[in-house]
Amino acid sequence: MNSETIYPENALILAPLSGFTDLPYRRSARRHGCVFAFAEMVDAASLAHTPERGLALAARGEEEEFLGVQVVGADPEWLKRSCEELNAREFSLLDFNLGCPVAKVVKKGAGAALGRRIDVALDRFRLLTQYSRFPVTAKFRILTHDHPAPTVELAVGLAELGAKALTVHGRTLEDFYTGPVRADIISAVREAVAKYGIPVIANGGVRDRKTYDDLRRDSGCSRIMVAQGAMGNPWIFGELLNDAPPPTLDEWKLEVRTHVAEMVALYGENSAMRQARKIIHDYLKGRGFAAEFRNRASLLCTFAEFEKWLDAAHPAAVSASRPFRRG
Ligand SMILES: Cc1cc2nc3c(=O)[nH]c(=O)nc-3n(C[C@H](O)[C@H](O)[C@H](O)COP(=O)(O)O)c2cc1C
């Protein structure tokens, strides 16, 4: 696979979302046109120590033509061992996480903390390119708002080491997941690595057609990664790729039901329903449901209770952010 075919022009990519992008989640996105998706981030340490558990996170559906796997970690030995474990499976690419801001990751010097130590980050990235049999890519945040130079330095270093694609989240570690996205710095990265002929994917703040078009224009990147905008809203793939209209209430119900049913089939009812509550809450967000109805979702313990609750779903108001199409 050469670098150009990893992500073709105009690719719209579902971001890795820890705790979310399992197989049922990706299937839901794929039903609406998503092609490029990632399994849940795998921690190199847990992959090295309990490979079965780590690999379960990266289970691939037979129908999935493209699936990226992402690893986070800073310890060279664990990174090497996680490559060996992942090499036994089939993935479209291995992505190195240099952007995770979560305390338990940053505390260990991994994720966004590693991204800031450019020399060490490059050393670990080189190791992945040596041990992985998959094309290796990286996802990182901008390193500072002040100037593009540090972020560009990291990006060029990664490109020189043979990165097959770079995803830039236009926020810093301190910004976490909110606030303005620095498309200008993403653009500077794109220009700086142009000579390596690898795709640069812009990430941050895409939640609808306008924010998508703005990020494409301001970053100069045709390839976009979407994260929070896809949470509870797999229809965003149809909207951005095919100008598909939003779902009717019935279409929405069918999608939520199918998604949760697939979780039950994969994890068993008890475990699935525990995990599904946060997913259901995301589906409810911004759609005009009353607080009382949304709160009841936290109490759903069985699939039968869930189905009964879903049948009764009816928005109390027309939402401005994620309105239903009138069916
Ligand atoms: C719940 C959640 C989990 C995330 N998990 C990961 C992850 O495992 N790996 C990663 O690279 N980024 C992760 N991210 C960051 C997103 O991939 C993305 O970079 C970020 O949310 C910015 O994009 P957005 O503005 O479209 O949401 C996560 C974000 C959220 C909200």
Backbone angles phi, psi at 59, to 5 degrees: -60, 135
| Residue minimizing CA distance to atom 9 of ligand 1 | 16
DSSP 297: G
Per the CATH hierarchy, to which homologous superfamily does domain 3-242 belong? Aldolase class I (3.20.20.70)
- The set of residues, in sequence order, having a beta carbon less than 8 Å from that of 145 and lying 6+ positions away, is 172, 182, 185
- Determine if residue 283 is left, alpha or beta; phi over 0 gives left, psi from -120 to 50 gives alpha, anything else beta: alpha
Summarize the confidence of residues 290-314 as an average pLDDT: 97
Pocket of ligand 1 contains residue 247 by CB under 6 Å? no
- Ligand 1: atom nearest CA of 169 is 19
Count the alpha carbons within 13 Å of 221 in the hemisphere toward its beta carbon: 36
Summarize the confidence of residues 65-93 as an average pLDDT: 97
Provide the mean pLDDT of the chain.
96
Domain boundaries, the chain: 3-242, 249-311
- Ligand 1: atom nearest CA of 225 is 26
* 285 Cα to the center of ligand 1, angstroms: 18
pLDDT at 318 over 90: no
Nearest CA among 12, 29, 81 for reference residue 234: 29
Report the pLDDT value the prediction gives residue 57, as an integer from 0 to 100. 86
Counting beta carbons within 10 angstroms of the beta carbon of residue 323, is it exposed (0 to 12), middle (13 to 18) or buried (19 or more)?
A: middle
- Among 17, 22, 216, say which to mutate for ligand 1: greatest number of ligand atoms within 8 Å of CB: 17
* 3 Cα to the center of ligand 1, angstroms: 23
Axis crossing angle, helix 23-30 with helix 249-267, rounded to the nearest 10:
150
What pTM was estimated for this model as a whole? 0.97
Report the pLDDT value the prediction gives residue 1, as an integer from 0 to 100. 41
Does residue 93 contact residue 72 with C-beta atoms inside 8 Å?
Answer: no
Does residue 276 contact residue 310 with C-beta atoms inside 8 Å?
Answer: no
Does residue 277 contact residue 284 with C-beta atoms inside 8 Å?
Answer: no
Summarize the confidence of residues 115-134 as an average pLDDT: 98
| Residue minimizing CA distance to atom 5 of ligand 1 | 17
Does residue 221 contact residue 189 with C-beta atoms inside 8 Å?
Answer: no
Q: Which whole-number Å values give the CA distances from 287 to 14, 248, 313, in the listed order?
A: 21, 11, 11
The pLDDT tens digits of the residues spanning 246-285 come to 999 999 999 999 999 999 999 999 999 999 999 999 999 9
Q: State percent of the chain over pLDDT 90.
A: 92
pLDDT at 230 over 90: yes
